[in-house]
Amino acid sequence: MSESIDLLESYGLPSRTEIVAICQQGGYGCSGIPLRQHPDGPVLAWVKYGPSTSLAEATTQDWVSKTLNANPAQGVRAPRVFDAFLSPHPKLPRNIGYIVMEYIDLPDCDENDFKLVARAMNCLIELESPSSAPGPVGGGEAVNAFFPYWDSGLTYNSVRELEEHINLILKSREFHKKQVDLVAESGDRLLLCPCDVKPSKFKKGANGEVVALDFGLACFMPPAFLAFSNTTFNTPFAHKVARYVNYPTSDNVFPMSVASWFLVLYGKCDIALPKSMRLNRKSSAETIVAGR
């Protein structure tokens, strides 16, 4: 997305500063806002913004969009990303994330479109990561229903490191019945794992086309995490969709469920960390202190 600024200008879109001002005027109670060149003009782009909107989400959406759009015969696509950036919150000591993306002028899916959404999900979960590190495209913190509040707050460098962490969590709570074996099960294979399955996260076209809109709770994880996510859906719509999705099965789901419960009990994920992760966190903290 290095060409993003040029793209904004070529599409006649406002500058980043103008986009921030437009979103501030729209308020932080909504998750997105249309961009127009003139108040009564056509919508040129859509901006998703908020404190939970991240650059990692934008990078993942950008990669997924390009990958899906390269194979239009599947009938599933995602909005192109024109730009993504962070800007300080006007009143709070935190950043607001902004993703400027293609505007898709189609109706949202509804509760009756579970088979349509399932078709899109089957396409999405077949996408394999461009790297061997779990998490978003380009690296970053893993998000999944396995973690409390869906957010790990942790960066895993490999599937083996993720496996070691889960097993250390189980060991720390003296659970010895079964450990996870992610590497033996699927090697370094990582699949896109969308966890937020709602009608509003998809749009539908008259020709059966489906557009996946939101990648805030999607990243690349070992196949066992898809199997685990299939056990956590808590809405009737998600359950209906799951019946038509080819989720993988895994013997790791039970010990993962136990480890996930321990994380929920503590309300955080940085417990029983492998030595490699502890050293990385210490090194990062020392770098931050040295830079002050």
- Is domain 114-282 given the CATH code 3.30.70 in the classification? no
Q: In the predicted model, what is the mean pLDDT of the chain?
A: 91
For residue 247, give the DSSP letter.
P
How is the chain split into domains, by residue range?
4-101, 114-282
H/E/C letters for each residue in 6-30? HHHHHCCCCCHHHHHHHHHHHCCCC
Hey, is 159 helix, strand or coil? helix
**70-106 pLDDT tens trace:** 999 899 999 999 999 999 987 888 899 999 999 999 9
The answer, yes or no, to whether residue 62 has pLDDT greater than 80, is yes
Q: For domain 4-101, give its CATH number from 3.30.450, 3.30.200, 3.30.70, 3.40.50.
A: 3.30.200
- Spell out where the chain has E strands: 32-36, 43-50, 76-77, 81-88, 95-101, 191-194, 202-204, 210-212, 218-221
- Provide the 8-state DSSP code for 116: H
Answer yes or no: is pLDDT of 2 > 80: no
Q: pTM surpassing 0.85?
A: yes
Residue 175: per-residue pLDDT: 85
Q: Which amino acid is at 81?
A: V
The answer to whether the 4-101 and 114-282 domains have the same CATH topology is no
Per-residue pLDDT of 100-136, as tens digits, reads 999 999 999 999 999 999 999 999 999 999 999 999 9
Please determine, for residue 3, whether its predicted confidence score (pLDDT) is greater than 60: no
Q: What is the mean pLDDT of residues 259-272?
A: 94
pLDDT of residue 134: 98
Q: Are 238 and 118 in contact (CB under 8 A)?
A: no
